[in-house]
Amino acid sequence: MRPNYHYAPASNWLSDPNGLVHHKGEWHLFYQYNPHGEDWGHMSWGHAISPDLCEWQEQPPALLEDDRFMIFSGSAVCDAQGTAGFGKDALVAVYTGAQLGPDPLQAQCLAWSNDAGRSWEKYAGNPVLDLGMADFRDPNVFWHEPTRRWIMVVVLSNEQRALIYASHDLKQWDEMSVIHTAGAPGEVWECPLLIELPVEGTDETRWLFKVDVLRGAPGSGALYQTGSFDGIRFIPDGPSLEPHWQVADMGSDFYAAIAWHEPRDASGRPVWIGWMGNHAYQGQLPKQGWRGAMSLPRRISLRRDAGRYVLRQEAEPAAVRGVAALPCTDGPVPASARIDLPASGDFALTLADRDQRLLQVERQGTALVMQRRDPVSPCLDNEQVFTAPPGAALTLWLDHGSAELFAADGLVCATMQHRMASNELTLSLRVKAEA
């Protein structure tokens, strides 16, 4: 049941994407990885490289745990001017070193590569940012050209706050400001992202702050605000642009998404990618030699809609080239395909296999219901209810083990993994038109 057009490792556990950087024509995807098995543990950075966001070549693990730290989530940047002292054009990883046990500690560390990411050396002066805390993690780092310095946004997970730091050399960091909870639902913040995005149809840009909430948030737990950023503080839009917090993906399996800050397409849109998984049940899934896959890479932008800025997501065209488009009619379907759902009217679409696993998408007026049932792995049973305009065309990107639903305008996305049998003869498609 390996995916056809989504990235998954050859073996072992995969989760959060890390260190997304484009360098010398290559897209680098690092990710949380257990080199020793399919369960969470021994966290290190796996590594894959692509020339086009479609074909991925898995590399040996980039950063391995050591006697002191596991390698938790973080960023990678191209230090073109050699500000950190590791050489011009060095790749620099900024990650959380996590010390478990009776004296838990999370602190921010560096590693660098001078051979296009093929080998890495950890900085002898690690950690470079240490507050003496057990829950201080997931640095997202980027170059801020207006202030000519590096910016880091990192979360105090259990306090549900984010801190913004600045640095001229990636080693010495000064705290600039705080991003507060501001009524965000759920608890335990992880994997922040702060990035400038174009507003479609205008010359305007706004900044997006995204954070993943481990428990208690709607959808996949990926929440975002829009606002402004001056190199010191992020100021959320509002109060006229309520609600402050919006949901990036209404399924149950789009988590820890971060972006390649550069390069961007002709419309100024960067690419982001998320883990198609959920810590609530991922470790309960049957073993199959590997566990975990990435979402489709998605181009992201903002659109002004009903008095607020809304995230727009579109599957990266290169990543889905060659995926077969199927008519939305009853009958067998392959496990990997594009299915265009009815653009008008109520409907119920059901995908099922011989073991009565099913995935259903149903539209009733403005309500969309995405439901997953799995009698073999009941931990996957899930139902998500959200809204979309009644006339919105919908596309379901179906692959071995996953389904990603996109509205045509890109303002609604929902991602769910599944365990339906991958043999195309065991899948069926049912569509029912409603009055």
pLDDT of residue 429: 52
HEC sequence for the chain: CCCCCCCCCCCEEEEEEEEEEEECCEEEEEEEEECCCCCCCCCEEEEEEECCCCCCEEEEEEECCCCCCEEEEEEEEEECCCCCCCCCCEEEEEEEEEECCCCCEEEEEEEEECCCCCCCEECCCCCCEEEEECCEEEEEEEEEHHHCEEEEEEEEHHHCEEEEEEECCCCCCEEEEEECCCCCCCEEEEEEEEEEEEECCCCCEEEEEEEEEEECCCCCCEEEEEEEECCCCEEECCCCCCCCCEECCCCCCCEEEEEECCCCCCCCCCEEEEECCCCCCHHHCCCCCEECCECCCEEEEEEEECCEEEEEEEECHHHHCCCCEECCCCEECCCCEEEEECCCCCEEEEEECCCCCEEEEEEECCEEEEEEECCCCHHHCEEEEEECCCCCCEEEEEECCEEEEEECCCCCEEEEECCCCCCHHHCEEEEEECC
> Which two three-digit tokens encode residue 137?
């993690």
Tell me, yes or no, if 16 is annotated catalytic: yes
pLDDT of residue 432: 54
pLDDT of residue 113: 98
> Which two three-digit tokens encode residue 241?
């642009």
pTM for this predicted structure: 0.95
Catalytic residue from among 16, 212, 249, 374:
16
* Strand order across the beta sheet in which 174-179 lies: 136-144, 149-156, 161-167, 174-179
pLDDT of residue 306: 81
pLDDT of residue 140: 98
Each residue's pLDDT, cut to its tens digit, for the chain (435 residues) gives 789 999 999 999 999 999 999 999 999 999 999 999 999 999 999 999 999 999 999 999 999 999 999 999 999 999 999 999 999 999 999 999 999 888 999 999 999 999 999 999 999 999 999 999 999 999 999 999 999 999 999 999 999 999 999 999 999 999 999 999 988 999 999 999 999 999 999 999 999 999 999 999 999 999 999 999 999 999 999 765 555 899 999 999 999 999 999 999 999 999 999 999 999 999 999 999 999 999 999 999 999 988 899 999 999 999 999 898 987 777 888 888 999 988 878 888 889 888 889 999 999 888 999 999 999 999 999 999 999 887 789 999 999 999 999 999 999 999 999 998 766 534 455 555 444
> Which two three-digit tokens encode residue 281?
């049940």
